[in-house]
Amino acid sequence: MKASHSTSAGATGRLRAWLELTRAPNVFTAVSNIVAAQFIVAQGLPEPVALLLLCCASACLYTGGIVLNDCFDYAEDLAERPSRPLPSGRISRPIAFAVGLLLLLAGWGLAAAVGSLPALLAAAVAAMVLCYDAWAKRTRLGPVAMAACRLGNWLLGLSSGGALATLWPLALPPFVYIASLTVLSRSETQGGDRRPVLVCAAGMLLCLLLLLAYHAIGLVHNALGLLLLGGGAVLVGLRLHRTWQDFVPANIQRSVKFLVLGVIPFDALIVFAAGPWWGALVVVALLLPGVLIARRIYVT
């Protein structure tokens, strides 16, 4: 009986370690990019098989990138985050590295099953992920490189249906959002210099201005969606104001978590502004599992 209980506890511990390593709550933010883009492309119900394959491809590319990120950050995490799965020894670093590469390959294969353009974009995303994890994140280009991965993910969602040439500008606000978020997240273990808060706030404002410009040229057609985006910008501003006032690692991490999970409602509002309103409800529903899992598994 004790042996059975020990085996069960060990399996649960291993599962939790992998959920932590892959930042399980964040996977839904990658999937929401695909779902949002697909609803905008279809202007209605997306083709189910393509939607499923692209969602799975995105999830694999995202989790593969996250796993490899921790593999490359092993020495840093050993000093600053020793409780994480790799430095704590709960998961072997070589095994994690192999799993990360296999996930990138699986993401490419799933995208290739949809078509040649999705396959090309998935390959580009995988290359950008490796570039970010292995090199760019340690340079000033880090936020741009991270945002480029998210840009590629949005383009992947827009790639089926022949509308990419027209709709690609819709991927720019998410690019700016992630770049701004990444600037803030780079200071989450240190605090001190408050300038990342200002950069993040400016980036969020630019997201809104881009979507207003899209409305002016007819790419975004629902003015109510823009009003809701304005309301969301106010909430983000209030969160960043609190971070500015109390710029310490714990508060920065709370803001980063808020903004990471905020990717999903941001995607939903883009759908509301540029696609079917009910598609926005489908996207925002992805927030629920992300928030529930985030209560037990760390996000940043």
Tens of pLDDT, residue by residue over 218-229, are: 999 999 999 999
Domains, the chain, in order of start with CATH, read 16-294 (1.10.357.140)
Q: Considering the entire predicted model, what is its pTM?
A: 0.94
CA separation, residue 210 to residues 76, 137, 152, 169, 192 (Å): 37, 26, 18, 9, 31
Residue 300: CB atoms within 10 Å: 16
Q: How far apart are CA 282 and CA 40, in angstroms?
A: 12
Nearest to 29 by CA among 271, 230, 290: 290
Q: How far apart are CA 225 and CA 253, in angstroms?
A: 29
- Mean pLDDT across the stretch 271-278? 96
Q: Which pLDDT tens digit goes with each residue over 121-169?
A: 999 999 999 999 999 999 999 999 999 999 999 999 999 888 999 999 9
